[in-house]
């Protein structure tokens, strides 16, 4: 599938833990997350994405006190959304 500009979309995989996090958000924030994920299918490196310092190969997008944490596989042209949660808890239990 291609975008309007003719570029191919990236595959996006949303892990179960991230889906649970999305479901636990208020409706207004769920809409924001789905917009962020849709944009990642077009560009996995948007200007507001930041690399995580303590977790190699992970990126985050911050919004309204929450984070979307994901990684990108260039080889597979895939974005894997790992977690979606409030800033204070999104990183707990992540392996370094």
pLDDT means over runs of 10, the chain (96 residues): 66 97 96 97 96 91 97 96 94 78
Cβ partners under 8 Å of residue 42, min gap 6: 3, 7, 9, 10
* Domains detected in the chain: 11-86 (3.30.2310.20)
Q: What is the pLDDT of residue 27?
A: 93
- pLDDT > 70: percent of the chain: 92
- Dump pLDDT digits (tens) for 22-48: 999 999 999 999 999 999 999 999 999
d(CA 55, CA 57): 6
């Amino acid at each position: 599938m291609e975008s309007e500009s003719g570029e191919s979309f990236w595959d996006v995989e949303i892990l179960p833990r991230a889906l649970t996090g999305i479901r636990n958000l208020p409706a207004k924030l769920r809409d924001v997350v789905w917009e962020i994920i849709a944009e990642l299918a077009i560009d996995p490196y948007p200007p507001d994405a930041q690399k995580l310092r303590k977790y190699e190969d992970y990126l985050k997008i911050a919004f309204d006190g929450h984070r979307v944490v994901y990684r990108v596989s260039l080889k597979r042209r895939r974005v894997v959304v790992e977690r979606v949660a409030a800033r204070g808890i999104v990183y707990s239990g992540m392996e370094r």
